Amino acid sequence: MPETSAAPLIAVRDLRVEFPGANASKEVLKRVSLTVQPGEILGLVGESGAGKTTLARSILGVPPTSGRIAAGEVIFEGRNILDLPEPELRKLRGSRLSIVVPNPRAELNPTMTVGKQIAAMARIHLGVDRAQAARMALAMLSDVHIPDPQRRMNAYPHELSGGMAQRVVIAMALICNPAFIISDDATSGLDVTVQAQILSLLGGLAADHGSAMLFITRDIGIAAHFCDRVAVLYSGEIMELAPREELFLKPAHPYTLMLLAAFSHSPKLRDAWRVAETGARQIRDGGCSYANRCPLAQPVCSDGRPPFAEIRPGHFARCHFPVSHE
């Protein structure tokens, strides 16, 4: 992973996460590395099954059920947090490193009021007493622009709309002023006007608090407007990483091009970048994981895993034949 001039706030190095499979374990994340600079919003785009949620949760040391972190490090504040004992790690989670999850109504405790759940974060991590925590929770609810915050404090998750529940989860993630926020598909399933508000809220709060963010999404449109740098995840690997303008105006990896083509609704591009939809993608060991769908694939692509090369300053692509825009 290239070093930038400033020290990164958080660095993920060669993270490998496995899930048990029928015969052998399945590698869902294959040596993923990325860094996030202080105050930066790094976007991560990928389709379903690419490993986005696995990555989001594994960075915090809690891979999804039955997953296992096989290798890798997450360096934060000078230490590898994956090596820390669980109680130490829990102190970091929610306070210095927090996550905004999708489908909040499923993730919130159904038998506790949302006010209590937000306040609990303050009590657990900041050690404040019950009254102070309640005040902080109320203030946070106002900050996330929930209408009628006093009444909502006593609401249960199932009584809230999707948009409001999402705001609650954001409030929980931000109340302890974390240095780093992971937003995992935080706007999926929301109405587009609500999504616009949530995005502006998240961006604003992150800027106010000086937090860095890893913004994970399926919608590359959001990444184009919201993130400073964007990484593209495919089949558990980062295929391309570039500053926003570079990625969208000069995309290099064939997968990125295919994603953009799909979003453009252009019939011309569809034929050019058409990919045969296969039922089960054969995962070939040792080759490029995109090789069996890539229209530019050559024999060498199945043999060696392409290196993550810097094709232009700050612009990286994992491809033997990255597309040039000269």
Partner 1 sequence: MRVLTYLAHRLLFVIPQLFGIILVSFLLVKSVPGDPAVLMLGPTATPAAIASLRKVLGLDQPLYVQFFIYVKNLLHGNLGTSWQTTRPVLDDLIQRFPATLELVTLSLLVAIVVGVTLGLYAATRPNGWIARFADLYGLSVGALPDFWFALVLIFVFYTMLGWAPAPLGRLDMIIIPPPSVTGALTIDTLLAGDLQAFGSGLSHLALPVLTLGLLNAGPILKMTQSTMEKMLESDFSRYEVLCGVPERLVTRHALRNALPSIVTIISVLYGFLIGGAVLVEIVFSWGGAGQYAVQGVLNSDIYPVLGFVLFSAIFSLIVYIVVDLIYVLLDPRISN
Partner 2 sequence: MNAILTVENLFKQFPIAGSKQVVQAVNDVSFSIQPGETLGLVGESGSGKTTVGRCIIGLLEPSAGAIYFKGRPISGRRGSRRDLTGKVQFVFQEPAESLDPRMKIGQSINEPLLPMKLDRTMRQQKTLEAIRLVRLDPDMLDGYPAELSAGQQQRVGIARAMVTHPELVVLDEPTSALDPTARAEIIDLLQRIQAERDTAYLFISHDLSTVRFISHRVAVMYLGMIVEQGDAQEVFNRPHHPYASGLLSSVLLPHPHLKIESSVSLKGEIPSPINLPKGCFLASRCPFVIDRCRTQMPPMSIVDDGHFVHCFRHEDVAASVPPSDTFVAFMREAERVLSRRTSTDPSTQVHSH
Contact residues for partner 2, defined by CB under 8 A? 47-48, 147, 161-164, 191-197, 218-226, 244-245, 248-251, 257-270, 272-273, 275, 277, 279, 295-296, 298, 311, 320-326
Q: Given CA atoms 194, 196, 202, 204 in this order, what sign does their dihedral have?
A: negative
Least distance in Å: CB of 316 to partner 2?
13
- The residue among 106 and 249 lying less far from partner 1, judged by its C-beta, is 106
Q: What are phi and psi for residue 162, nearest 5 degrees?
A: -60, -45
Q: Does 86 bind partner 1 (CB under 8 A)?
A: yes
Distance CA 55, CA 51 (A): 6
Distance CA 11, CA 198 (A): 27
Q: Which of 6, 7, 71, 112 binds partner 1 (CB under 8 A)?
A: 112
Q: Which two tokens stand for residue 226?
A: 């919201």
Q: Does 90 bind partner 1 (CB under 8 A)?
A: yes
Count the neighbouring beta carbons within 10 Å of the beta carbon of residue 1.
Answer: 15
Q: Which strand (E) or helix (H) includes residue 123? A: helix 114-126
- The DSSP-derived string for 136-193 is HHHHHHHHTT-SSHHHHHT--GGGS-HHHHHHHHHHHHHTT--SEEEEESTTTTS-HH
Q: Does 284 bind partner 1 (CB under 8 A)?
A: no
| Residue 151 touches which of partner 1, partner 2, none (Cβ within 5-8 Å per kind) | none
Please list every residue from 307 through 326 that binds partner 1, using CB under 8 A: none
Q: Does 121 bind partner 1 (CB under 8 A)?
A: yes
Count the neighbouring beta carbons within 10 Å of the beta carbon of residue 101.
Answer: 21
Least distance in Å: CB of 270 to partner 2?
6
Q: Does 85 bind partner 1 (CB under 8 A)?
A: no
Note the residues at the interface with partner 1 (CB under 8 A).
57, 60, 62, 64-65, 86-87, 89-95, 98-99, 101, 103, 106-112, 120-121, 124-125, 156, 158, 172
